[in-house]
Structure 1
Amino acid sequence: MEETDDIKSCQDKHKENTPKSSPFDFVIKQFQGKRSSSGKRKEQPSAIKEFFRGFDFGKSEGKDRREIEKTEINNSGDDDQSEKQDLSAEDEPPRLVSEEESPSGKERFNQFMEKLGKKPNTKNLDLNNCALSAADVIELASLLPFLPELEEISLSWNGCVGGTLKSLTVQLHHVNLLKVLRLNNCRLTAEDVTSLGEAFEVVPQLEELDLSWNSSVGGKLSLLTKKLQKGCKLKLLKITDCNLMAKDGESLAEILNAIPNLEVLDLSINKHIGSSMKVIAQDLKNVPGLKELNLHMCGLKQDSLQGLDTALQHLAELRKLDISGNKEIGGGFKDATVHLASLKNLEVLDLHQCCVTEEDMTVLSQVIPLLSSLQKLNLSSNKNVGVSSYPLLGRLRFLPKLKSVAISNCGLGEESFSSLAEAALHLPELEILDLSWNKCVGGNLKLLWEALKLATEIQVLRLSSCNLVAEDLALLTLLMQDGHLARLRKLDLSYNNNVSDEGWAVFCQGLAVFKELSELDISLRPSSCRDCGMWFSELLAALTKLPALAELGMQRWVLSESQRKRLENFNEDNKRNIRFDC
């Protein structure tokens, strides 16, 4: 009874702290709470002791008091032991995952590709434009040991690759079957170029290397080339727009004898390398199997063109020669075409924007018709092509394999256009014809009537800014209605502001017969705008009958609110891309 009274007294004493529960409930809850929280376990025994010491057990017998204290100590000891075990468990390092439980290399690779939204492919790793982070590159490097069959790696258009490439190259020995490495626009650094050069020793099967659009490569190409091993299997080397300097050209020339299997060399858009082109040309004899040489906008001059022509005698396998965009070579062809005519396998010749002179045209008129395998010829943006008294265009009839002829912005006159029309009668395989920016075509398209009837393979016809009139559009429509131009896929009629509304109406009424058409452009010049009210309905009706049409350009045509809405709805309903001004 006394003990009960003491407890009751104590209960009253602590009533403020436990308004709705008994003191023992409070103790138990506190005790249980402490045990469930590992962060406060060290305080549990002392807190419990202090709480029980607040009660007056003095009136109880000594034995009872000792038993209570003994029980308390035992309980505390048990709790301390439990706590030690819990804390010991916390201090232990995490249990190592067994090999059976850890994800395999293949699973990790699949997870990595899934994270980037790509399908896993253990032979072709295509991560172009995937917004890779530096951490992604490092993770990818750790996965290479699990991809022994890998043959292609494409990391182009991922800026974060720059500065982290070494983490990848040190693992390339695991993928010694690698044949293709593409690193376009990766912001490569000098260190990256060095580490890449060091990796050449461990990827002996490498055949294609593309470093284009990495400006920091300029001035540092020797860090790469000096590591190339003699007898390297490299077949393709692209270093487009890398800010290459003259010394880079010299470094490249020095290692051409180490890569005898080279088939494609692209140095385009490196305007400072032209001064070393004579040196490069001298060593091109070491790559006799070269099939493609791209030197677009390389700052070539007349003397470098002459050196290049000398090298052509060693390049009998050449299929493509692009020396376009080198304005300073104009006037140099008269002394640099001795060996050009010997390229019997040449299929592509690109001379656009080379400022060829009338004297050049004299030579080219004699040489180009001798290139019996020629399939693509681009003479665009050379004004003297159209005014030359030497009939180069008329002599294209001797090139029956021609598939693409680009004579855009060549200042054609009616005489030269007529010569082209006659030559086109002998080009049965013609697929692409670009006559844009030649004003004489307008009103004279009828000269091409017979040629276009025979051009059963033609797929692309570009007549932008040709001063076309309604009669010309009616001619095209009539050809289609008669079953010609059946394979036409792309038709460019833009910037022909002289076509009347009646002409556009007739064209739109017959547009539905262009069944294979996928792209059409009827936009006006940027400086003008017109209402398309009277033929808009005809256009929209025709579009519904052209399932292949994916793109339609009609910019600068003024649309009413209802017309714009109808086009927007058509775009949405038919998944088309009609470009018009809002």
Structure 2
Amino acid sequence: MSQTGVHLPDQEELIWHNGGGAGDEKISSDQETERRQTRDDSLRTFLQHLRMTPETLLDLASEKESFGFACVCAFLITKLKIRVSFSTLDLSGLPDFSPTRVSVFLSSLPLSVEELVVGPQWARASSLPAFRHFLQRVSEARSQDKDKDKDEQGEGDSGFVRVKSFVFTAESIGPSGAPEILPLVLPGLQKLCLKGNSLAEEGGKALAAAVETGKADCLQSLDLQETGLQLKGLEGLKAVCTAINKKPLQVLETLCLSDNWLGDEGIGVLCDVLCVSHLPCVKELRLRECGIGDVGIERLAVVIKGGHVPCLEVLDLEENRFKGGGVRTLASSLRVERVPRLKKLNLVTFGLEPDAVSMGALLQALTSEGCPTLEDVQLSVGGGKAGDQRQDEEEGEKSKSGNEERVGEGGRKCQAEENLRMLGAGRVPVVRTISLRLEGAQLLPFFEEVVRAPADPPFVCADLSVEKPEIMGVEALTKAMQMRRFGYLRKLNWLLSPPQSEALLSAQTEFLSSFCITPQPLLIEMYLPECGLSEEDARLLGGFVRDGHLPALRLLDLEGNDEMGNEGARAIVRGLDECEVGLPPLEQLDLDSTDFGLFLSEIGALSKAGKLNHLSILSLSLSLLDEDGLFGLAEAVQVGALVSLSSLYLEDNPVGDSEGWRELFRAVGESEKGLPKLQFLGLRKTSAGEEAHVLATAIQRGKLPALRDLNMEDTGLKEEGVKAFADLLRTDALPAHQGSRLVLGAGPYPRLDDDDDEAEEEDTQTDFDQLMAAIVASEKGLPGLSSLDLSGGVLRVGGVWLAAGLMLGKLPSLSEIRFSNMQMGDSLLEALGEAVKKGVMDKVTKIKLMKNSDIGSRGVDSFLNAIAESRDGLPKLSELYLYNKAAGPCGLSVAAALGSGKLPCLKSFGVCFACCFDSAGMRAVGGVFKEGKCPPLLEILRFHYSRERADNASGPRPNFDPLLAELAEREGEIPGITEIDLSGGVIGKEGMCALAAILGRGNFPKLTRVCICSCHVENEALTAFADAFRSRENPNLTALVMNGNRFNKQGVAAFLNALPPQSLRGLSFLGLVGLSAQETDGNAASAELSALVQKAQSQGKLPLNCRVHY
């Protein structure tokens, strides 16, 4: 009986309806069963006709109109136990659902799926309860299935739980989500992929807890690539390894820890559990880019030597930092009795190829009888590194390698050459992938052997990086190509470095022509920057594309090859057009500093035709881009041909007017999909700023949802554009991705008629106060913004808004502040000082406030004293620049900040004030260094004033003699300082003597550059400087810049005469600009100076390679 008094018949009443007896009951039940069977059969037939696949199901679920139907289909597949092959179901591409939809969809999913791929939308806070419920459902069903006889389950029975693998795409779960998700995911699971998810310490401990409690006992594959296990002193890794030590993973076969900077210490932690008792079945160990050095590799080699990984088949150590000893120790461990199953070994490194002696030892091990049955070894080989004296002594005895003799001491180049010849001749057949990084004459021995060998080399893949090759080497490479013996290139990095000789350019053309004979089906990256490509070379490249000789190419870099001209660029574009399929795999096209901007319209048309439909990165900065090109690009955007574009750089292109930009931005806003993947948009030094309001409209419409880096520096941004962007910020419509950067500088853009002085002097400064106010007024602010640059506009009170935004939590991730030339006053620095005291600038790493002439000593003192007086200061600040301020004496506050210990990460510090340091301030700053209280990481110290401003300064210049005197009295080392710049002040005789003491006593062992331009240094002071070196030397100093001072050629002569030989033997640059201008006959003075320099070089007082500018 219902509460309303209306009787509702139950099932039993329906069965016994009309007073039927027992016989009627049986008939009714049979009829009901038959009816249900007919219904189920009809549904099965319907679903089978649908031919439901994972792709079909996901496509239905993606659309609002068909979402319900998708859920019904998924539910019926499970309910009716329909045989549908769902080996993998990738949910990461589905749109963000409401929590209700998430719950409905997950509740309907069949558990017969073998692998589930999930993205961030499934594990965020709003969806987490439903996702957790789904995981509990999987866990409960798996437990029930343990009690069933699996033989009774049909081959395609959807009721049987088959979820064996879980893949969480990058940034799906973080440290806080891991403790809730991992314990539910792991039980019974065979494969877990957490690649790109930041577990850090908390997540690592959650994984460790699951391992220790036996929840990971079934795990066969564990992918922890780029999960932050190295953070906080390797706490995450240590927790996981400790758990494995307590509860071994007996069936784990694949372990991936790549892209975690474990270092040698982390490898030591891993090696403690890398043994039969804890990880007995490990077959694949992947440790790419883990920061492993020689010590770590030696530790791993000890594990291998001990026979602790007998099942190991794959060892991947690509892109680590080992060089010498580690490689030799690893080579000695490669014995078949220790790793009998080892098949694949990857030792490719980046720019740190093993020295020649170590590489020789490895090659010898790989060709020995006791080597494991390796099938694929991947190596990096360089031609010039040969090891130190100790290695030479170890290899001092002559030994045989094939038919070539290898000598230790005195024969290091022979060893390097022998290694190349062994590999080129194919005498190490297990090396199947080779990464060659060769320079100069090193190209010849390898390819000479390739040509001479009786058979083709054993390689299946090769990366070739060539720098400054000699002609004979290029000819040998060309010959190998013509013989079709080098058709397996994967990456080509060709660096000729200008200027190039005509003969070398001719050899280059011959090399390129060999691609017509030997197509390169594997070539994915082709770097040809600034190598002087001619029009003929460009025609060859166009022909390769047209004839389909580069079918796999993903990256083409032709930057800086303006020699090919318009016709060369046209030939390459024509080749793309005439190719039947174009270059569909092409993802990155770098055409900076070429003439390709004239053909952007054609490139857009190729995209429309589907011949560049995977293009992701397009760079056309400084490329003669014209208005027609922008219109052509707009057409491609309008029809959705560039939806894969993630980066677009069109900088340094002074298009005549802004109509083309307006059309491009309008096309983005009005197209169906816009540019949905575009993250980086570079418009610097163009006229795009005049149409910024149109771009803002496109963003407002959601057509640039992935945008995270917008650079509109010097684009002539106007009030209308600033207002439009302020509206975006106020309404939270600007994408706020983590790590995003916003540059809205209002400086003038370069014009085609840049000789017009009036155009350059036009006042383009724009008021940005409303922009900063909008951030504070918005509901969310910009939570992901890491860098903000508004240089060139006007920010009178906006600085206060900036501080307010920081204190209100509207800019929680801000790390870089660049507000230069913005007419800001003291209020900005005073407000930032308050923010420092509140502790809300703890993530800021860079502050650059330059050319703000309205800031005085009050603001500077307030900000710097706030750092010194605050509890934590600026703990992550690495750069602080306060250039070109018209301030009074601020030396005491500078000293207070530098000596406070509140700038522990500061590396570069610069102030540039008129009269900013009185004598007391100078001594105070010097005292900070004298007493060893300066920031421990400080590298660059700049207290300079630009020469032009110094010459025009109305007040007295700062006298740096007291500062230098304090620095010279420092007794211990200040190891970090690499550069000191005191330009624009005054340095007398005492100061120059102190500077000589600083350079000669070794107190600053890493100091390589000293700049004292326009410091009124006279002849006497310069001579005293040289005299002070009579008993000292500084082999580390590479640059001494003394332009614009008061000494003349007689002073220079006295300086060079007094300078002891070899005292500045590392000097590569000496700046003496401005001397000849003091002489009546400038040409004669230059000749005399040149003679003085040559004499000093002949006497060993200046190095022969030292460049002297005067």
TM-score band, normalised by shorter chain: 0.5 to 0.7
Q: Which of 316, 331, 348 is residue 588 of structure 2 equivalent to?
A: 348
Q: Deviations over 1:182-233 (max 9, x none)?
A: 3579647574244134146365454543334745535555256447862634
Within the alignment, does 1:153 sit opposite 2:153 as a pair?
no
Per the alignment, residue 35 of structure 1 pairs with none
CA 1:224–1:571: 2 relative to 1, 3 Å: farther
SS for the counterpart of 2:573 is: coil
Establish whether residue 513 from structure 1 lines up as the match of residue 781 from structure 2: yes
SS at match of 1:408: coil
Query: Displacement of 1:514 after TM fit?
Result: 1.5
Give TM-score, length-normalised by structure 2: 0.37
- Tell me whether 1:339 sits opposite 2:570 in the alignment: no
The 1-side partners of 2:871 and 2:692 are apart by 32
Q: What is the identity, as a one-letter code, of the residue corresponding to 1:457?
A: A
Contact 2:363 2:428 in 1 (8 A): no
Q: Identify the residue that residue 473 of structure 2 maps to in structure 1.
A: 248
Contact in 2 for aligned 1:299/1:326 (Cα 8 Å): yes
Whole-Å separation in 2 of the counterparts to 1:386 and 1:535: 41
1:428 aligns with 2:675: yes
Letter of the 2:551 partner, please give it. A
Shift of 1:475: 3.7
Letter matched to residue 533 of structure 1: D
Deviation for aligned residue 1:239:
0.5
Task: After TM superposition, give the deviation of residue 326 of structure 1 in Å.
Answer: 1.0
- Which one has the bigger helix percentage? 1
In the alignment, does 2:650 pair up with 1:407?
A: yes
8 Å contact from structure 1 (residues 126, 154) kept in 2: yes
Quickly say closer, same or farther: Cα 1:185–1:311, change in 2 above 3 A.
Answer: same
Whether contact under 8 Å (2:438, 2:465) holds in the other structure is yes
User: 1:168 maps to what in 2?
Assistant: 362
Farther off after superposition, 362-371 or 295-304: 362-371
1:41 corresponds to: none
Question: Match of 1:20?
Answer: none
Change (3 A) 1:232 1:203: same
Question: Using the alignment, how far apart are the partners of 2:866 and 2:687 within structure 1?
Answer: 37
Q: How many angstroms apart in 1 are the aligned matches of 2:438 and 2:351?
A: 9
2:371 pairs with 1:124: no
Aligned ranges 1:55-454 → 2 under 5 Å: 116=295, 120=300, 123-125=315-317, 128-129=320-321, 138-139=328-329, 141-145=331-335, 148=342, 151-158=345-352, 161=355, 165-173=359-367, 174=371, 176-183=374-381, 187=385, 189=413, 191-199=415-423, 201=426, 203-204=428-429, 206=431, 208-212=433-437, 214-215=439-440, 217=442, 222-223=447-448, 225-226=450-451, 230=456, 232-240=458-466, 242-256=467-481, 257-268=484-495, 275=506, 276-283=508-515, 285-312=518-545, 313-314=547-548, 315-331=550-566, 332-341=568-577, 342-356=582-596, 358=598, 360=599, 363-364=602-603, 366-367=605-606, 369-370=608-609, 371-388=611-628, 391-397=631-637, 398-412=641-655, 413-425=657-669, 426=671, 427-453=674-700, 454=702
Aligned-pair CA distance for 1:299: 1.9
Distance 1:254 1:424, change over 3 A: farther
Q: Which amino acid aligns with 2:491?
A: V
Deviation at 1:329, TM superposition (A): 1.5
- Cα distance change of structure 1 residues 444 and 570 upon mapping to structure 2, 3 Å threshold: farther
The one-letter code of the counterpart of 2:573 is T
SS of corresponding position for 1:232: coil
| Deviations, residues 26-47 of structure 1 (Å, cap 9, x unaligned) | xxxxxxxxxxxxxxxxxxxxxx
Quote the sequence identity (%): 15
Gaps of 5+ in 1: 1-105, 108-112
Q: Displacement, 1:531?
A: 4.7
CA deviation map 1:126-176 (0-9, x unaligned): 67446x5x6666555444546756622145444882565423332333474
2: CA distance, partners of 1:486 / 1:429: 15
SS of equivalent to 2:714: coil
- The corresponding residue for 2:827 is 534
Q: Is the radius of gyration larger for structure 1 or structure 2?
A: 1
Distance 1:246 1:156, change over 3 A: same
Residue 304 of structure 1, CA deviation = 0.6
Paired AA for residue 563 in structure 1: F
Contact 1:514 1:546 in 2 (8 A): no
User: Paired residue for 2:707?
Assistant: 458
User: In the superposition, relative to structure 1, how do residues 163 and 476 fare at CA in structure 2: closer, same or farther (>3 Å)?
Assistant: farther
What is the letter of the counterpart of residue 430 of structure 1? K
Q: CA deviation at 1:396?
A: 3.1
- Which residue of 1 is the match for residue 848 of structure 2? 554
- Indicate if the aligned counterparts of 2:493 and 2:527 stay in contact, CA closer than 8 A: yes
Q: Supply the distance in 2 between the matched residues of 1:482 and 1:540 (Cα, whole angstroms).
A: 29
- What residue identity is the alignment partner of 2:737? R
The 5 Å alignment of 1:553-572 reads: 553-556=847-850, 560-564=860-864, 566=866
Q: 1:565 to 1:468 in 2, by over 3 A?
A: farther
Change (3 A) 1:304 1:221: farther
Whether contact under 8 Å (1:463, 1:494) holds in the other structure is yes
Query: CA 1:157 to 1:409, structure 2 compared with 1: closer, same or farther past 3 Å?
Result: same
Structure-2 change in CA distance of 1:383 and 1:158 (3 Å): closer
**Structure-2 residue corresponding to 1:576:** 876
Residue 537 of structure 2 aligns to which amino acid in structure 1? S
**Contact 1:333 1:363 (C-alpha < 8 Å) held by counterparts:** no
The aligned amino acid for 1:375 is: L
**Secondary structure class of the residue paired with 1:293:** strand
Distance 1:500 1:153, change over 3 A: same
Q: Is the 8 A contact 1:491 1:520 kept in 2?
A: yes
C-alpha separation between the residues in 1 aligned to 2:480 and 2:432? 15
Structure with greater contact order relative to length (CA < 8 Å, sep ≥ 6) = 1
Q: Deviations over 1:474-493 (max 9, x none)?
A: 54343244233132633142
3-state SS of the aligned residue for 1:151? strand
Aligned counterpart, 1:34:
none
Q: Using the alignment, how far apart are the partners of 2:768 and 2:571 within structure 1? A: 52
One-letter amino acid matched to 2:530:
M
Q: 1:462 to 1:225 in 2, by over 3 A?
A: farther
CA–CA distance in structure 1, aligned partners of residues 382 and 819 of structure 2:
34
Q: Is the 8 A contact 2:593 2:620 kept in 1?
A: yes
| Contact 1:379–1:410, Cα closer than 8 Å, also in 2 | no
C-alpha distance after superposition, 1:542-563 (max 9, x if no partner)? 8999999675452527671442
Amino acid at match of 2:492: L
For the 8 Å contact 1:337–1:363, the answer to whether it is kept is yes
Show the counterpart of 1:486: 736
Q: What is the TM-score of this pair, normalised by structure 1?
A: 0.66
**What is the Cα deviation at residue 289 of structure 1?**
3.7
Q: Deviations over 1:58-89 (max 9, x none)?
A: xxxxxxxxxxxxxxxxxxxxxxxxxxxxxxxx
8 Å CA contact 1:505–1:534 kept in 2: the answer is no
| Secondary structure of residue in 2 paired with 1:168 | helix
Structure 2 gaps of 5+ residues are 1-273, 276-291, 305-314, 387-412, 748-764, 793-817, 853-858, 882-909, 911-1110
Residues 446 and 472, structure 1, Cα contact 8 Å, conserved in 2: yes
State the 1:447 CA deviation: 1.4
Residue 631 of structure 2 aligns to a residue whose secondary structure is: coil
For 2:593 and 2:642, the matched residues in 1 are separated by 22
